A and B are shown apart, each in its own frame.
Chain A
Amino acid sequence: MVEEGSTLPLPSSLATQYVQELLGEKIVCTLDDGRTVKGTFICIDRLSNIILTNNVVEERTIHTADYSQYKKSSLSPSYIDRQLSMKRHLGQAMIPGSRLVKVELEETTHEQILKSLARESS
């Protein structure tokens, strides 16, 4: 039984119910190279591959050093590697489970789901 106001982790038996309630909500996935992908959650499979839809936004950091390698090869000590954030908009995206590090949800949405589970279990 899920109590209202309970914090993670929930029992595994309730995980499936939780994920079913999660369908249609906006989540943020972090991948192993540091990029984040935000979108509406519509599917997950056995391998934790996740499909997001509805104006999916991928955001990642790029390093200027990657695009000016001729300068690195001249071993310039004064070269400054800058980091910039790049955004990309996609219609629908699949996050490979093997590269998935973290999935986050807004706290308010999380609490709503828990309340809903609590109501069902009572």
Chain B
Amino acid sequence: MSESNIPASDGKDLPETVGRDFQPKAAMVDITTMLKDAASALTFESPMIHTDSFNLQDSMAALEIMDQKMDCCEVPASAMLIEPTEQQNDKDERMIFPRPAPTGLDDVIDALPWDELTIEDAAFIALENVIRLESLLSGSSVVESTYTCLYSHKVVLEDMHKRLDPCMSLTEQMKAIMQTPTQKGTIAQRSVFASTLLLVELTDLIRGVILNADIYEEEDFGTSTFNIASFRRPSEGFTLKIVLDEISSIEEESTKLDQYDNQDAFEAIRLTLSFQKDLMVAVSSLARLSGKTIRKEVEAAQQSIKSAKKKLQDTVPIFARLKEKQSDSVKVILRRTFDPFVNRPLVGNSPVRTIVFRDAIDATNEMIRMVDEVDWCVCKVILKANSLGRIRRMMRPVSSESANILTRSLLVLNLYFDELIFGQYSLPEMIVRYMRQLSHVPDSIVNLPTTDAFLNRLCKPVYDTLKLMALNRNRQRSYLDIMLGDWSALREEAYIADMTNHQDSGSHSELQPHFSLYVISTTIELMDNYVDLGVELELLCNEHELTIAYWYRDFLLSSLLTQLNTMRRYKLDAKKQVHQDAEQFPATVSGGKPQKGGKKKGKNKVSVANGASNRTNRDDLSITPTVEDIEEEVEYLFLNAKRFLCRGIVRFFVSLNQAGLIKENSFDFTSNEMIYQKRFEPFIGIHQPPYLTYDDYLKGSDFTKLTQNNLVSASSDSFSVAKSLIDQALKHMSKLDPDFLPIQVEEVKQLSKVCVANSVYLQRLKQLTVGGKTNAKLTLDMATHRHFCTIKLG
């Protein structure tokens, strides 16, 4: 009989039992033989005896007890060893129930380390808490991260608080009134308490932020707490007070130390506690911005974040030194304190997740990266992005870098509050300024009541385009699907607004459809983003699908550039007009705003929703380009470069097809046309730009009339033009603030590499076709740039 078959005691001599059934037992009859006889009588034709309602779903939903993969409460006994053996995956290995959750410091299963804690132990426990925090932020639920630390359980924290609170008893409270209360417990104990308290406080704070923002997806964050109780802080600011007291206590103690005497351990604890405290202060401040002091609060939060990052960076070499000298007793302490299986009975079985924590260095570096994100993704954006164009440019990296869910949640929480963008700017006014930046929207149009109404109508869709960039990258496509419908419907309203404005303004010049242009260009950008994401997420991945994707993107980018060119032309014409007027009538121009059509409106000021614009139209029409003009110009150049890159890649694929290097797809249950229709289904309802059918694609990509050489040359030219546009943009970029760049320098280099590499492989294709070889190995490389492939020929 194995050890595991020791029969349970009858409970009479056990002082503590958990979950014991004390109901008087009914008399039971052994029916084992009956069941086994009935089972053995079953045949293949009639393999089961079951109730009428029993079905396949019931059988699949049933948990197979004792199955090592399916049953979460089967833990290898060797996992409880200090140094787990290699037998962990052995099928015959003894399995035990996960360690029950602790009931206090003096837990009956295994008392938690307390009296024997040393300062070195406390330092490593603090480090492990940071690893748990990183795991929480990376997507693990609280029971898979925070509460794998046995100290963080509510009853244990309450026990620690009771033992360490200098004012727990009445006598102590009386003494505290008379004099400063003396600290109870050792520094190691207080440090462990402070560090664990911070872990729990940060967990609750982070959960609150993420749930409030409500943009998380399943893979971002585990929201369920599985009913695990969290320690209740006795008062507001309790955690901060405990931590600040402990940090000053450690600082005081470390001044008394000899240089060889545990200085690293003290410093490690001080830095870790300070890091957690700074992070907590910054996040709680950013989650509650309001009122007129927003900029000051964000600046203060930014300082806290930078301080937190610095402190965490400083811990890395210190912990490296401590690890080299780490004693075995520390390993034992950590094993007793952290148990990844303790909450298994809570989490259920579908599926049983293996909890894996990063090692200390990786976790710390990852934590540093996440903390840094809060600075550039949240604080900088709130402080610096003062126009719609700049907000879009600063938020794009948040999307493309797949920032952490906490960062994105903080950004969304602060995106629009107190009826203002970032609590600072009126959104309708921002939209008008942005439209004026791109095009020339005269005051006579901006002042009209229909403009107010339409701008208010535009607010929610524009807000959605910003919020989109904070969503999980993998899920943006499904939101784009919905947004495209909204923007498509806006086009008609924009047209009506333009017509009405044109009539109301009494202008005799041709209709300049400013709102329509803006709505259409935004719609096309969303469509392009949709196709782009399909490539990035590998929904469009083989040669045929990528050809279609780039072909469609070529069309979309060309349409977008057409709209932008029209808007730029209006602006240029207006600039010329203003400067002609300035030359002809210098006195008039230096005064008030020109009134087109000669009518004075009742409302002379811009009555755009929440406020009046202080900038006149004239400011946007100065002959010297402003910084924002250069930013828009750079963005324009990159759009053009991407268009040529798409064009070049399409021609490259067509050349390969002509050379017989791409195999045709064949399907039994579908067809290329059906796949195409499915991929671009959201575009069907959009009238402008018109939806392109599969036949349009076949016609558009039919280059049979061109020779292989001509096709290769055309492709090569496209890559050359793209490269030269990129180089041109790079020259402008050096004059700009890096935070306002439409594309990061690293990405610019990647795009250049793609252009050059594709040009090189085009030459290789030329050599192959001249040599008559048709069996070259073709590889599509998305590693250089995630949106544009390098077509490699081996």
Contact = CB atoms under 8 A, between A and B. Distances in A.
Question: Which of B29, B80, B82 has most A Cβ within 10 Å?
Answer: B29
Contacts of A86: 18-19, 97, 100
A96 B6 CA distance: 21
B14 interface: yes
B8 to A, nearest CB: 4
A118 interface: no
Interface string A20-59: 1011100110011110010000111111101101000011
Interface residues of A, number: 68
A77 interface: no
A67 B82 CA distance: 10
Contacts of A62: 96-97, 100
B734 interface: no
Q: Determine chain B's interface SS by DSSP, over half rule.
A: loop
Interface residues of B, number: 64
B17 interface: yes
Contact of B5 (A24, A28, A33, A88): A33
Interface string B22-33: 000011111111
Contacts of B9: 61, 83
Contact of B62 (A44, A51, A67, A68): A51
A98 to B, nearest CB: 10
A101 B32 CA distance: 8
A61 B8 CA distance: 6
Nearest to B67: A96
Contacts of A108: 26
Contact of B27 (A10, A22, A107): A107
Given A70-B335, A83-B14, A44 B38 contact: yes
Nearest to A66: B96
A110 B31 CA distance: 9
Given A31-B66, A42-B58, A84-B108, A19 B19 contact: no
A106 B19 contact: no
Contacts of B110: 64, 67-68
A45 B31 contact: no
A43 B65 contact: no
Given A50-B35, A102-B32, A103-B35, A23 B80 contact: no
B63 A85 contact: no
Contacts of B35: 15, 19, 22, 44, 48, 50, 103
Contacts of A102: 30, 32
A93 B62 contact: yes
A9 interface: yes
Interface stretch (B39-47, B563-571, B718-726): B39-47
Contact of A67 (B66, B67, B80): B80
A91 interface: yes
B28 A66 contact: no
Nearest to B78: A69
A87 interface: yes
Contacts of A50: 35
B4 interface: yes
Contacts of A10: 34
Can you list the 5 inter-chain pairs with the closest CB atoms, starting with the nearest? A87-B19, A61-B8, A15-B37, A43-B50, A19-B38
Interface of A: 8-10, 12, 15-16, 18-20, 22-24, 27-28, 31-34, 37, 42-48, 50-51, 53, 58-64, 66-70, 73, 82-88, 90-97, 99-108, 110
Given A8-B29, A12-B41, 6 more contacts: A9-B33, A53-B62, A66-B96, A83-B8, A104-B28, A104-B31
